[in-house]
Structure 1
């Protein structure tokens, strides 16, 4: 056995002894001794941890790898049974397991990376011949598309009508008032109100008296200025 392995074996034996002393006589001195023993064990295990970190391609997350290996080292030292295996063998498996789990969390299961992907191409003509193409057809698709297009056109038309009305409204307010910022604030509020009720679908919605007059005058103005297209 190498000198480094012997040193690691001695360090874990000392740490186990320090833990035993701490359990027998808890206190600051025995706790400090246990901490020093584990620090020495960690120092001896550090080159091994760096080796496995490089081996598993985790050098870009070396701090995370060191953290999980420190947990593995602590667990291995507490569960180590000298009668069953050498500590170097036991802790190596602990390091491998933790680093493999870390790599899996970060990069996924790389064991599937080289497997050949099998794909199949379906012929639509063959599906039609077999009568199996019905699942491709959505009966509601055409109605939903037409409704969506109609709603979009209605929204755009409403925006245009309200904007034209706002221009006329701004001209009237501008002649009677000189406070431009106050006028724009008022106009923005009225535009929002008129725009909402131009597209409202709930006829039961009630308005305040002042808002009702604004909406009624605005809608009358929009109808009056709306272009009339004659169909032949």
Structure 2
């Protein structure tokens, strides 16, 4: 897809992968509208020249705020990038179910709601794209993060089914599966992490080439192992 001139709605675009992705898409000539929920990051994004929608997408009110802000815009590309982790490890402590619910809403419900409400507008564009960011953990989970892994696996299944539903339409569906990337969410989780810049660059390449699936960084190796032995891939990842 030619990104120049496209209007892009990018959730979670004020930090981490999203911030780098916003910058690279803007450099391609796209108009990028980002969402964020942290005041200082929102102000920084505004200072960098982005239109920013302040919204907590772990709530219905946050989703509604985004939809209200873009209702009069012709959105060509929706990128569901916002995501959050949530502790749920009985080996460590009793889970916080309210926190788990926020994770489920942000990672799974919000993308479904945004896609559903923006579908008619996307169908009306000459060409459109939906980009859903899942994770290598959608393929094989790790024991320490079952809620996060479940939401990403759920979004992966939704994306596969959605792509089939939209076959033959003007809407292209891309799933992005990043590895562990150096962001605030992954602080303290090992040292071999991909940079947000490199991750974003691979996502942009996948968008421009109309790929259906972007296995980013080390996820390429995971997908190769999985293609040979799903059980082996699961045994490797479950320990992380």
Asked if TM exceeds 0.5, the reply is: no
Counting helix residues as a fraction of each chain, which structure ranks higher?
1
Counting strand residues as a fraction of each chain, which structure ranks higher?
2
Greater relative CO (CA pairs within 8 A, separation 6+): 2
TM-score by length of 2: 0.21
Q: Which has the larger radius of gyration?
A: 1
